[in-house]
Structure 1
């Protein structure tokens, strides 16, 4: 009887392995089928072909595993696509914002452009900028403040126009 059990269990395992291509999953399926057969041992003698019944159970469990894996992969693919779509959208928005800031800075006066560049891009101190441009430190602060305000206003105006265009489009 034990030899028959091992041989039969091995047949179930090989069928599951052929269907799943995974030795771990195949071993789990063979074990599950064997356990279910054991739990229904009183019914087995009534079956015309117990081996065919066991093979059918094995095949059905394998199909369930494959279906579950396919659904899991589809969810992961969907998440990945959403993530890529989201990161592409973020990248486009940052690129658009960067272009908008550069455009706003280019519209500043030469002195404002120089001060904002030296302070915000190069990281110079106000006293160093004042000395380099031969203006007072207080005047440098005023120029920097006005330059930043002009950039801020340009961005707000662009966003306002974009919002108006969008709201007109959705009506």
Structure 2
């Protein structure tokens, strides 16, 4: 089957899924299940969580089937859902100590020492690039808070700005950094970025 024929066949399946055809949905699931599982595993570093993510993604597709657009790439749509759900999961894990320890332990087991050196190098490069993407003043405030351990009040007094301004700049800095990491999802060990920085 040519690329054009495959694309046409997929669009037909998506159209059938929109109409509620379960057999068409199962066909799409069979086509993409290994790819979505592999992508989830790359981000989550856990077979159990990747398997659950696979089920969650396709459950969402089925539940939202009437909103699908047959004219758009179903593959891109699937990967976008998977990426967003994985990052939501990781951000939740970063705020839950029990989840964080369990996921980090699983990810640690997935790599040998040489891999970890490469991962750390990637981490430091992305971290440096992320910091440099911040406006100078915002970067200064962020470093004073995270590297020097200064309170917002202390930072405000030293820079001659209000505490609320410091807080606002920190929130914007965190949002910028998180978005930067999401845009660089191809970097191995994304979990390390999320858990170690914030």
Aligning the two structures, in what range does the TM-score lie when normalised by the shorter sequence?
A: 0.3 to 0.5
Higher helix share: 1
Larger Rg: 1
Specify which structure has the bigger relative contact order, considering alpha-carbon pairs within 8 angstroms and separated by 6 or more residues: 2
State the TM-score, normalized to the length of structure 1.
0.43
